Chains A and B, each alone.
Chain A
Amino acid sequence: MMYYLKLALVLLIIAGVAAGILAFVNSKTAPIIVANKLANEIEARKKVMEGLNFSEDFDFVKKEVSIDKPAGKCNPLKIKEEKTGSTFLYYEVVGKDTGKVLGYTFMSAKSGYSSIVKTMVGVDTTYTINKIRVISQSETPGLGAKCQDEDFMAQFDKKNYDAMKVTKSKSEIETAILSITGATITTRTITESLNADLKTLAKVTAKGGE
């Protein structure tokens, strides 16, 4: 009996010490991880509004709207990682002087070939895309991972909402997004998630907006 207690005690001590060390390391690294993530998002948000020449400086105002979307199909962006069910989170780009809404940014996310692809999108008030940035993905290196190339992301510039189609060969159609070779799924994921979320954005800003 004592022998078995001893076995359990040894394991308990080892596990306890390990838990203590991990708790300590976690308390040091967790704030940095959160801060990194926030900084990345803020930077991406600024990037996707670049090139739009407003006559004034602007701020980002966070908006959260509940939408009638079945839970589970929700947009898993959120700064907090929790499942909020059916809210759509976006940022209004508001002019500092006039207080007018100049555009919107939001993060679109959809699961692609081997990961959830998160894309930051900036649009103007007509819901025309200014720029997109793929900020998080772990698709196949050399294939899907090329969605972070500037050339690919630039294809979405000035595209209008709800009208993007993926093609596999170069085409003259204005709304076409040329698929990445060998990564049609990734390309389609990004295009579809943008289409869907732009539609949502248009809906919520038109009826519940300013």
Chain B
Amino acid sequence: MLKEFTKGIVKENPVFIMALGLCPTLAVTTSIENAIGMGGAATFVLLMSNVFISLLKNLIPSQVRIPAYIVVIASFVTIVDMVMHAYIPALHKSLGLFIPLIVVNCIILGRAEAFANKNNVGKSIMDGLGMGVGFTLALVLIAAIRELLGNGTLYGAPVMWESYRNSPMLMAILAPGAFVTMGLLMGLLNILNKKKS
């Protein structure tokens, strides 16, 4: 049971190993705050959709399973969107379009199709949580590097010296920085994995 949880964090990390959900990964990792917000929202949707799809798996005919999954996922995403808009408007504003786009995040449909519709609720919960945590950690890691280099801060707190913060490495926080950071991290993880085996 615990294995279903831990596999999402390192061995089958959705971002670094499975390379799923890269669009939001690249887009929202400009600050740690955004990364945590996005990770939290995606984890909630992942967990809830895994639970419901695992519960409904025997009721949904397999010919219409994909539209049924999408309806379930889209409902939870919309709930997250509305609740966030009402209670944490600042975060909602900075994540903007990427909240509704969780609907098409491959991790969520991927886990529904590959895991939740074959396994029981307990396992699906662990899988959803594990994948969500793995996704969040990956986002935070990338965001920490980009925020530190591109803005001189970590979670909004100034870290680098002042002259650096006045003219930081802007590329890190722009789109190319996202690709470079993620590529280097993926390569690094591959080296580590190879050494292990």
Q: Spell out A's residues near B (CB within 8 Å).
A: 6-7, 10-11, 14-15, 18, 21-22, 25-26, 28-30, 32-33, 36, 40, 115, 136, 138, 140-143, 181-182
* Given A11-B71, A140-B173, 5 more pairs with CB closer than 8 A: A22-B75, A29-B86, A32-B87, A36-B86, A142-B147
A-B pairs, top 5 by smallest CB distance, nearest first, are A29-B86, A32-B86, A141-B30, A18-B75, A142-B173
Interface of B is mostly: helix
B182 CB → nearest A CB, Å: 17
Contact yes or no, B30 A11, CB < 8 A: no
Kindly state the separation between the CA atoms of A181 and B174 in the bound complex, as whole angstroms.
13
Contact yes or no, B71 A14, CB < 8 A: yes
Q: Spell out B's residues near A (CB within 8 Å).
A: 30-31, 34, 56, 59-61, 63-64, 67-68, 71-72, 74-75, 78-79, 82-83, 85-87, 89, 93-94, 96, 147, 150-151, 167-168, 170, 173-174
Residues of A contacting B60 in the complex (Cβ-Cβ under 8 angstroms):
10, 14
Contact yes or no, B68 A10, CB < 8 A: yes
Closest-by-CB residue of B relative to A16 is B71
Residues of A contacting B63 in the complex (Cβ-Cβ under 8 angstroms):
7
Closest-by-CB residue of B relative to A8 is B64
B72 CB → nearest A CB, Å: 7
Kindly state the separation between the CA atoms of A72 and B119 in the bound complex, as whole angstroms.
53
Residue of A18, A26, A142 near B150 (CB, 8 A) is: A142
Residues of A contacting B31 in the complex (Cβ-Cβ under 8 angstroms):
141-142
Residues of A contacting B78 in the complex (Cβ-Cβ under 8 angstroms):
22, 25
Q: List 14 A-B pairs, Cβ < 8 Å.
A: A10-B59, A10-B61, A11-B67, A14-B56, A14-B72, A25-B78, A25-B79, A29-B86, A33-B86, A36-B86, A136-B93, A141-B34, A141-B173, A142-B31
Contact yes or no, A138 B64, CB < 8 A: no
Residue of A7, A29, A140 near B83 (CB, 8 A) is: A29
Interface of A is mostly: helix
Residue of A10, A11, A29 near B82 (CB, 8 A) is: A29
Closest-by-CB residue of A relative to B89 is A36
B98 CB → nearest A CB, Å: 10
Q: Given A29-B85, A32-B86, A36-B89: A18 and B72 within 8 A (CB)?
A: yes
Kindly state the separation between the CA atoms of A157 and B87 in the bound complex, as whole angstroms.
32
Contact yes or no, B170 A138, CB < 8 A: no
Contact yes or no, A142 B79, CB < 8 A: no
Residues of A contacting B173 in the complex (Cβ-Cβ under 8 angstroms):
140-143
B78 CB → nearest A CB, Å: 6
Kindly state the separation between the CA atoms of A68 and B13 in the bound complex, as whole angstroms.
57
Contact yes or no, A115 B79, CB < 8 A: no
Residues of A contacting B174 in the complex (Cβ-Cβ under 8 angstroms):
140, 143
A2 CB → nearest B CB, Å: 12
B90 CB → nearest A CB, Å: 10
Q: Given A7-B61, A142-B170: A26 and B94 within 8 A (CB)?
A: no
Closest-by-CB residue of A relative to B151 is A142
Contact yes or no, B94 A141, CB < 8 A: yes
B21 CB → nearest A CB, Å: 20
Kindly state the separation between the CA atoms of A181 and B67 in the bound complex, as whole angstroms.
46
Kindly state the separation between the CA atoms of A140 and B89 in the bound complex, as whole angstroms.
18
Residues of A contacting B79 in the complex (Cβ-Cβ under 8 angstroms):
21-22, 25
